[in-house]
Amino acid sequence: MPGDGLVAPTGDPDDKAIEAALRPKNLDDFVGQKRVREQLSLVLEASRLRGRSADHVLLSGPPGLGKTTLSMIIAAEMNAPLRISSGPAIQHAGDLAAILSSLTEGEVLFLDEIHRMSRPAEEMLYMAMEDFRVDIIVGKGAGATAIPLDLPPFTLVGATTRAGLLPGPLRDRFGFTGHLEFYSTDELELVLRRSAMLMDMKVNSAGFAEVAGRSRGTPRIANRLLRRVRDWALVHGVDQIDARTAGAALDMYEVDARGLDRLDRSVLRALITKFNGGPVGLSTLAIAVGEEPETVETVAEPYLVREGLLGRTPRGRVATRAAWEHLGLEMPENVAAGLPENMFSGPGTNTSADPVTGEL
Residues tagged in the binding site annotation for ATP? 22-23, 64, 67-69, 130-132, 173, 183, 220
Residues 6+ apart with CB under 8 A from 236: 245
Question: Is 218 an annotated catalytic residue?
Answer: no
Residues at the binding site are 22-23, 64, 67-69, 130-132, 173, 183, 220, 312, 317
**How do strand 155-160 and strand 108-112 relate by DSSP bridges?**
parallel
Name beta bridge partners: 191.
none
Looking at 216, 220, 224, 321, which residue is catalytic? 220
Looking at 161, 218, 295, 320, which residue is catalytic? 161
Residues 6+ apart with CB under 8 A from 151: 100, 101, 103, 128, 132, 133, 134
Residues at the binding site for DNA are 312, 317
> For residue 88, what is the DSSP state?
G
In order, the DSSP letters of 19-66 are HHHHS-SSTTT--S-HHHHHHHHHHHHHHHHHTSPPPPEEEESSTTSS
Question: Is 67 an annotated catalytic residue?
Answer: yes
Question: Is 48 an annotated catalytic residue?
Answer: no
| Short-list 266, 259, 197, CA closest to 8 | 259
Looking at 37, 83, 112, 214, which residue is catalytic? 112
Looking at 67, 214, 216, 265, which residue is catalytic? 67
Question: Is 220 an annotated catalytic residue?
Answer: yes
Question: Is 112 an annotated catalytic residue?
Answer: yes
Question: By three-state DSSP, how is residue 150 classified?
Answer: strand
115: left (phi over 0), alpha (psi -120 to 50) or beta: alpha
Residues at the binding site for Mg(2+) are 68
Number of neighbouring beta carbons within 10 Å of residue 134? 22
Rounded CA separation 33/182 (Å): 9
Looking at 37, 68, 160, 265, which residue is catalytic? 68
- Residue numbers annotated as active site: 67-68, 112, 161, 220
